Amino acid sequence: MYDLIIIRYGEIGLKGDNINDFINQLVANIKRATSDLGDFEITTIFGRIFLKAEAAKINAICQRLINVPGIISLSPAQKFNYSSKKVSEFDQSDFNRLKKQVVRLFRAEVQNYPTTFKVETTRADKSFPIKSPALSRELGAEILRQVEGPETELKVDVHQPEHLLEVEIRRGKIYIFVRREAGPGGLPVKSSGKALLLLSGGIDSPVAGWLGLKRGLSLEAVYFNSPPYTSERAKQKVIDLTKILSRYGGEIKLQIPYFTAIQQAILKKCPRRYTVTIMRRMMIRIANQLAAQNESLALVTGENLGQVASQTLEGLRSSDQVAKFPVLRPLITMDKNEIIKLAKKIASYQISIRPHEDCCTIFVPQNPVTQPKLATVEYAEEELAIEELVKEAIAKMEIITINEGAC
């Protein structure tokens, strides 16, 4: 039924001279997010991106695009082909055909009655002979005449219509559409620099990564692997989560340091109640080095205030104390159900709930300390050969470059 998708971007429009860089980046990101669905023609005209595709693929593409950062909204649309040479010569027979097409589209998209609607025209191309209010009025009247009936109660509501049928006339082309789907907003990935995501197999960290992407970051990731305490399947889970992020964020270098020796050392040498606090500090220390090596400028974590014992202000402070980069925590004030909702939206949820444990859940003591004092933490980790341990973890690191969307 549809032949194209009209994509609107928001904030980018406010940028100055480098606006084209932003748009080109967004177009590249759109191509990548849909690459497994096909190779589509994408054009940009001031303020809009047009993606042409076969009708059968339009819905699948829309489902992807609603998660591509930088997109404000999108509409699957039809192009109207008029028979005259120029849009300025749009005549009565064209108008009659336009009316028919509009009615057909309305019927196909609007299923539930009684309902209300409104027709709105954007006449950016002023050579089009009929003025916007007149065109809207005539098309609206035609819809009422053709569609309204005892089973299909229909009214015009110009203030809060349930359906808005839009006609856009731009540069000699006429588009009609009824649906507007919201995108995530934000900025195109790669327009804000690079950060390192601390990724576990849980629900939170992939969402944090996606929110980072939404503000235009490009990401690298680190997963702390503790074989044999954690399984091959736990690692595969993280790889699959990285693929989800890669769909929206392009190539992601997944770095997998060997964390086993560190965990063993902590458990052998540090007080039981402090093991989680110290483990998180060791993770940050490894992340510091990886971020520096890859020229990342921040760390991103899925931490969330008060969710677990280590995520108190005291716990976060003890991590930040060893961090050499700003630690971005996009989920810090969210509730778990808000996070889950986002996880479902980006399709990471189904992967995150696979039952394989990661290193964070496997060694949790009965009563972890919730308000670690910095001085006590420092004392508690005194026995650890911190530098050597970090070095060894990185020396035995595995690197997987992920450059594909998950299926």
Partner 1 sequence: MKKEIYLDNSATTKPTESVIKAVTDALKKYYGNPSSLHSYGIQAEKIINNSRCLLADYLNINPVELIFTSGGTESNNLAIQGITKAYQQRGKHLITSPIEHASVNNVFLNLAQAGWDIDFVKVNKKGQLDLDHLNNLIRDDTVLVSLMQVNNELGTVNNLAKIANIIKNKNPLTLFHSDGVQGFAKIYTDLANIPIDLYSISGHKFHAPKGIGALYLKSGIELQPIFKGGGQENKWRSGTENVPAIAGLGAALKELPHLNSENKLAIQLTELKNYLIKELTKIDSVIINSPQQSAPHIINFSVPGIRGETMVHALAAQGVYLATGSACSSKSKGSRILKACGLDSKLSESALRVSLAADLKQADLDYFISSLKEQIDFLKLF
Residues at the site binding partner 1, with contacts judged by CB under 8 A:
227-232, 264, 267-268, 355, 357, 361-362
Closer CB to partner 1, residue 141 or residue 362? 362
Is 199 annotated in a binding site? The answer is yes
Closer CB to partner 1, residue 116 or residue 264? 264
Closer CB to partner 1, residue 101 or residue 307? 307
Contact at 8 Å (CB) between 156 and 118?
yes
User: Which residues neighbour 191 within 8 Å (Cβ) at sequence distance 6 or greater?
Assistant: 21, 22, 25, 70, 216
Structure tokens at 110: 């609007």
Question: Closest separation between CB of residue 354 and partner 1, Å?
Answer: 10
Question: Closest separation between CB of residue 230 and partner 1, Å?
Answer: 8
Question: Closest separation between CB of residue 309 and partner 1, Å?
Answer: 16
Question: Closest separation between CB of residue 377 and partner 1, Å?
Answer: 21
Question: Closest separation between CB of residue 362 and partner 1, Å?
Answer: 8
Is 198 annotated in a binding site? The answer is yes
Is 280 annotated in a binding site? The answer is yes
Question: Closest separation between CB of residue 232 and partner 1, Å?
Answer: 7
- How far apart, in whole angstroms, are the C-alpha atoms of residue 82 and residue 79? 9
Spatial CA neighbour of 288 closest among 359, 208, 387: 387
Is 254 annotated in a binding site? The answer is no
Amino acid at 234: A
- How far apart, in whole angstroms, are the C-alpha atoms of residue 290 and residue 216? 20
Closer CB to partner 1, residue 16 or residue 228? 228
Amino acid at 217: L
Closer CB to partner 1, residue 107 or residue 233? 233
Rg (CA), the chain: 27
Is 311 annotated in a binding site? The answer is yes
User: Which residues neighbour 149 within 8 Å (Cβ) at sequence distance 6 or greater?
Assistant: none
Is 223 annotated in a binding site? The answer is yes
Closer CB to partner 1, residue 124 or residue 308? 308
Is 293 annotated in a binding site? The answer is no
Q: Which residues are documented as binding site for ATP?
A: 198-199, 223-224, 280, 302, 311
Q: Which residues are documented as binding site?
A: 198-199, 223-224, 280, 302, 311
